[in-house]
Amino acid sequence: MEEHKKGQVIGYARVSSTDQKLDVQLDQLAAIGVDKVYAEKASGADVERVELSAMLDYVREGDTVVACKLDRIARSTAHLLSIVEKLNARGVTLKVLNIDLDTSSPTGKLMLTMLGAIATFEREMMLERQADGIAKAKEAGKYIGRKATAKAKSPEVIELLGQGMTKEAIATKLKIGVASVYRIAKEHKSCC
What's the one-letter identity of residue 170?
I
Active site residue 82: no
What's the one-letter identity of residue 130?
Q
147 burial level (CB within 10 Å; 0-12, 13-18, 19+) = exposed
Compute the distance between CA of residue 159 and CA of residue 155 in angstroms, rounded to an integer.
6
Locate all alpha helices (DSSP H) within the chain, ordered by sequence.
23-31, 50-58, 70-73, 77-89, 106-139, 154-162, 167-174, 178-191
Interstrand relation of 101-102 and 36-41 (parallel, antiparallel or unpaired):
unpaired
**What φ, ψ does residue 96 adopt, rounded to 5°?**
-120, 115
The active-site residue out of 16, 53, 76, 154 is 16
What contacts 156, CB < 8 A, 6 or more positions away? 174
Sign of CA dihedral 106, 53, 35, 4: positive
Q: Return the active site residues.
A: 16
